[in-house]
Structure 1
């Protein structure tokens, strides 16, 4: 993806600044809010990527949206990206920052694929199970895929646990295909 290396460099610099200021948790929350807001708002993403709209207008719009909700370091990142004509990288910088922060704090990202969205109670149970299995904290990313019919697929790092109904059906199918059942009529 274009600009990924630059976004990673900015994210590393912001993480180092946040660590020096001892505000890495606040900056992480701000970066998550920025990434989520821009990802969910297609018009805002179009404005940031538009070559027609002037950079100072983009910065004013972002400051109006985020000035009350995010910390000063994150506001400074918006200004810096604007000065360097790199505002389209804002979402990538925010996402890269979160990845670096999670890695630094030994927080794993668990991808849970379910047929329906996770409830808050199930989310807590999944987090507890991940903590028990890996010994690390984790954040849960829920992916909804109705094709698995029921159950879940849990992926943490290089560990995958498939407890989906579709997997159980596929296992049964393989057993019937591989066995030498003779139909008795």
Structure 2
């Protein structure tokens, strides 16, 4: 009886190990089969955006899904009632699901896009929908070979300054890439500019120089 008890426990342990191995193998296989986005994205919103990109790539639905995400962004911006309802922690998952289905029917959103949004709703992640939409847009921009550039200056650039800046930034791009330049104004930087190219960041502002010189003075006093 004692030996049989040990054998039974050993068998149970082996079966548990086998089930765990199967789950691990399945998980590893699904990761290996994913189509990776052209850029690295992070956070929970990044995981959902990457999963949607992978699924859409496999089904040759990238253009349709991108259209869906643009439409959802417009809905979230213009339809305050829908935006508040989808992001509210008080509204039930069932009510959010019904809202998503209505929006999908009204705007002809594809099942693939709807399923992703429904999964976010089911997991309580629709509070991240703005970040998710922005992340997916960044992935699609990179997929087209676009490089996102943000230039922050203390005052708006005039036409000649803008052209000179575009010419200078063009030298950073490689063949097949297109610069997408976004100009921002922030008076607090005093002068100079802050340039962000993809994941690279260069601070040439007067404010940063003043801060640097102030630190040097403090350290030498």
Fold similarity call, TM over 0.5: yes
Equivalent position of 1:16 in the other structure? 54
Equivalent position of 1:137 in the other structure? 178
Normalised TM-score (structure 1): 0.61
Q: Taking structure 1 as reference, are residues 84 and 147 closer, same or farther at Cα in structure 2, changes over 3 Å only?
A: closer
Q: Quick one: which of 195, 212, 216 aligns to 1:154?
A: 195
What runs of 5+ residues in structure 2 fail to find an aligned partner? 1-41, 215-221
C-alpha separation in 2, matches of 1:99 and 1:141:
13
Asked if structure 1 preserves the Cα contact closer than 8 Å seen for 2:151 and 2:193, the reply is yes
Give the secondary structure class of the aligned counterpart of 1:77.
Answer: helix
* Residues 119-140 of structure 1, C-alpha deviations (whole Å, 9 max, x = no match): 9998788666544431222333
Shift of 1:65: 4.7
Number of aligned residue pairs: 168
* Residues 16-70 of structure 1, C-alpha deviations (whole Å, 9 max, x = no match): 1111232323423433453465368776554333232122322333454565546
Asked if structure 2 preserves the Cα contact closer than 8 Å seen for 1:39 and 1:91, the reply is no
Equivalent position of 1:93 in the other structure? 132
Deviates more, 1:124-133 or 1:19-28: 124-133
Q: Taking structure 1 as reference, are residues 137 and 125 closer, same or farther at Cα in structure 2, changes over 3 Å only?
A: farther
Shift of 1:145: 0.9
Give the secondary structure class of the aligned counterpart of 1:22.
Answer: coil
Shift of 1:95: 2.5
Asked if structure 1 preserves the Cα contact closer than 8 Å seen for 2:93 and 2:121, the reply is yes
Equivalent position of 1:181 in the other structure? none
Q: Taking structure 1 as reference, are residues 123 and 49 closer, same or farther at Cα in structure 2, changes over 3 Å only?
A: farther
Asked if structure 2 preserves the Cα contact closer than 8 Å seen for 1:115 and 1:144, the reply is yes
Q: Quick one: which of 74, 91, 114 aligns to 1:75?
A: 114
Give the secondary structure class of the aligned counterpart of 2:115.
Answer: helix
Normalised TM-score (structure 2): 0.53
C-alpha separation in 2, matches of 1:48 and 1:131:
41
Any residues of structure 2 matched to 1:1-185 within 5 Å, and which?
Answer: 5-35=43-73, 38=76, 44-65=82-103, 67-69=105-107, 71-72=109-110, 73-115=112-154, 130-135=169-174, 136-148=177-189, 152-156=193-197, 157-158=199-200, 160=202, 162=204, 166=206
Larger RCO (CA within 8 A; separation ≥ 6) = 1
